[in-house]
Structure 1
Amino acid sequence: MQSRVTISGNIVSELSEKIPSNIIALNELIKNAYDAGAPSVEVSLDSTKKKLIIKDTGEGMNKSDIDTLFHISNSNKIYGSLNKKYNRYVQGSKGLGFLSVFKFGHKVQWETKKDKGYRFSLDYDSLVGQYDISECVIELIEDDSIEKGTKIEISIDDYNMNSLLDYFKEEKNYKKILNAFDDDTFDINIKIDGIVYKSSSSIKLLDNAPDYRLYQVTYNNDDGKIKFLYNNFPIIEEKFFVDSTRYKLGLELVIFQLPPHGKNKIDRLYLNPKNDLTPLMYVNCNLFNNYDMFDPNIMKNIKTDLVLNQMIGKIEIISADKAINFNSDRSQFLQNELTDEIKTVLQEINKKIQTVGSQHKKYLKEFKILTSSELPEECDTYTDVEQFRKFICSDFAFRELVEIERHNNKIKFALWGKEVWATIQGKTKTDSKGENKTGNGKTIPAIIRLNVNDYMKIQIPSEQIDLFSYIASVRNSKGEDVDKSKVKVKIDNKEVNNILPSITSTKKLNIEYSFLDSQTGLVIKNIILEFVVRMSDFSSGKTKPHLIMIPAAQNYTLNYNPYINKIVEQINQLDLKSYKEIIACCLRSLFEISLDAISKSTKYSNFFGNEKDFSKKVSMVIKYIKSNPKYQSEIATAAMIDYHSLGNILDESAYETGVSKAHLGAHKSMTYISEMDVDNLGNLIGLFLVLVNEMLNNSNIQ
């Protein structure tokens, strides 16, 4: 005797109730199109014909796929896994997707074509009334005139039609459907009674209120760094490590300082149900309707002066972990260890972003960084532009990075594409006859005043340089301004015109400016231009060059000593003028650590033999690389340095001389070493670290 399982048609009704709203149901149908590899899907609502049509251009279904569609609660898909054919994360996995159609109406027709065209239909009332649903037969009609893809036509009932029409009246609602997927390969179009809305016409994130943008913030847990950009320049990096292999996290945010009612300048896509600005959260590229896991107002109850809640953008979570599950309306994760961890991480990174951003935001919006735009008359005697730095607000977080230029009695303070000017008051001027307006008739020193420092580094290949552009002003002994064209320019004692051709190799040039005053004679001003190979800064997020930079690609890493990078970062945080002595000692330590690493390696255990002299050991390393073209080529390739440029800067005598000065500075008297000497040592150690790193880690260097 046997019995059999009978499944009543009521199961369809009960399972349909797991889909709580028509918006969730619509998202499910769009997800089906996405999983089918469709480049586009159109959702069309016709209130006159009372039809809701979802049409995609995906791969369509064959007989086997249709059988799978109606195999209730069965699926061979793994949610969140990568479909390599379409390079998309799989969305469906419950085997309940087709039930979404019954959220809108009871009569549904499908047209689909993969290899053959099929048309079939279902009546909800008939299906629910089945005594045993497993015995239900669906008639498939072959029709090869059907277009490739899938078209679902639903006879929508009045309630759901009016509900959808009301929902789509609000811009923030239909835009969330249009942006249901964070994927440029998938277009969503909505047609409401003939009016078409397209996802392709959505406003790009960075096009929202650019005049009021404070920061752009990015993060991905692969590199573990929160990166702040201001005016498209990287300005801050903060480490934030996520210790998990079960998911990936990425953020792209824009933070604003908006005026009253400024919210109206932002795309309404980024409004939550309370009409507050919010980033959007995506899980495996599909919009997750959650607005509390990353709440922009999180700091309001912690510390109000650290609030940066005017933010929009996207948060992306990627995971194929089975623990990733949602409640029925897809607005919350089901609680478990993994989802609790994700919630905690999102809260902490949110607080970190707002705290760090708030601590650095002062003066950035209006860029009013000066204590005064009118400078006292005594500033006219300043010969070094650094003397004007004291007029920058002391609490401006980026005070030391501001670039200062002088243009006669105008001083420009510039940073990250922003600038502000100050004027020196009471500067001596001449009247229409060219006479000194001070009226005292005294002869004063003639002067050439430059708007740059007297020592500059320029990366090669350089552009042509107008050397006159470095002149702020020229004044004769009568206090009269002198035209720049009257100034002679010499390079290494050879008179030239004011245009310096592009420089393609490393070198130092001594630039001399001079003019002959009719009363006081010759006036001379010198600067040195050092042309260096492309440099990679050890510390990211800074635009002002640091003392130690390496001639290498930006992602080049040193790994022969666990402390080397930290030491370099700390040196680069010190001001050369204030900490010259400490820096000199630290630079010597970097050489010593590197030499010690060579001596202790099995590869070079007897490299230095009986040599004890510190400077000569450094010179031996330079000679070892320079004497072997193959080794030099390996280093040039690994560090992305031009081979000939590398040869030019592998100068044994320069290293021996420079390191000798570091030795004196560290162990005898600091009067033997100048700021320029320390700066030169910074250049030398940058390359030396690369040489040692390649010697120890490159198998082609024996």
Structure 2
Amino acid sequence: LKEDESNQLFYVSYNSKKSEADIFHKGELLESIEFALRRSDYSIDIELVIFYFGKGKNSKNVSSLYKRIHDGALHPLIYINRNLFNNTVIFDPEILRKKSSDEMLPQMIGRVNIRCESPDLEFNSDRTNFVENSLTKCIIKDLLELNKDIQARGAILKKSLKKNNKVPTGKASPTSQNDSNRSRTASIIIDKNKPVLFYVPSDQILLEEYILQARDSFGNEICMSDIEITIDGDISRKRSIPSIESPCEKTVFFRYNDVQTELVSKEVKISFEEKISNISGGHREKSLFTIKSSSDYTVGIETVADIINAIDIAYSSKSKEELLPLIACSTRAIFEISAEKVLKTHKSWFTNFNREKLSTSTKREIRDSLLLDVIHIVLLIKKNQALMTAISEASGIRYKNLTNLMSVQSFKVAVKESHIGAHNSTRYLSKPKIESCADSCGLFAVMSDILINLTKETLNNTKIHKIDESELDKNLGAGEPDNLDC
């Protein structure tokens, strides 16, 4: 605290138990920054002095104890359970060096004290760094973000102090008297570890669990019942969110009226989404082909599985823009192979249409035999509830979602887009078109895979209602209503 007092700009004190970093200038508290740690099995206490060296001044009067050996730059000392930790990386004052000089405060010294009893706290052989695991990742990330927050907020405060191109400096730390008499603010700290994204249908959510800490302006813990909770503007008497079945977003506010400092409020947005899972021929971490299901689906048709894997490799490459025509042609191959397998496996399900009964527009559409095969299969599935149920159960796609996904128009467009990739200029292709085509193509591959693997028991108990010319006309002819009377 006595190092080069005339050039001190800020004194910063952080205590993880309070989840608050206090910034002082010339002994006066300027601001408190809320910051809660990610986990409770370690604690962090920080004391920093941040300098401002004006024109013609430098850090020569600061003890070499706080200077890095390799370049002489200032840095705080790190302690782990009261032992000096020879590391200048996990709390690096130059973390914002890519920012402009007005947005960073790298001239800092002090102590960063980490306390942790966990057996997961491990070090490398020369004890200059951590062994990477979930615990040490959290410690490093907390220190990184706290470092950034202190510098970013301090830089803003420095600008506000600057007058006549001069920044006032002097002994920054408070005396014990003005520190004890300083005013406090009420605070509600949200637990950063609590999830804000859920998949539908969700479990019920207890909202009080999102409050990590709540204190009034006297520093006392606030009783949970005194904190008002609202969901989308309505007071929540039950203080919980019931199971959500459809995608949406809920805005939750936690409010407390303090007797001295009045309202303190914190907002949390909680999203509910359909789970998107991979369709693959193997075990790839990410795939272009996905379904709205709670679990991944592995296609059993060997050739289709190989093509999906090959497309995923191509799509994840740096040169994927050059490979879009190849990817489009390959999705057409998936349609072709999948459709052929279904038509051969279940010949009795399908009608040989009398083309004389079809409209001119339908005849024009089915010149592409693949389009006819794909739409025929899709219409058949839509018409037969037993097939819809079997596909829903085997794929993990909820029946309601599957019904919404069975858009004849979507499958029709996907088949046509893949045909463009094979026979027309690449200017018609784009990343969004390829991804949209992959959605329908992947779903068709999954449905086909399930249909050809139906058990004998299911087949024996299933009466199939075939598609006739009028239904084909209704969906491929003029107007394309994309609905089917089942």
Range class of TM-score, shorter chain: 0.3 to 0.5
The structure with the largest alpha-carbon Rg is 1
**Higher helix proportion (structure 1 or 2):** 2
Higher relative CO (CA 8 A, sep ≥ 6), structure 1 or 2? 2
Normalising by structure 1, report the TM-score: 0.27
Normalising by structure 2, report the TM-score: 0.37
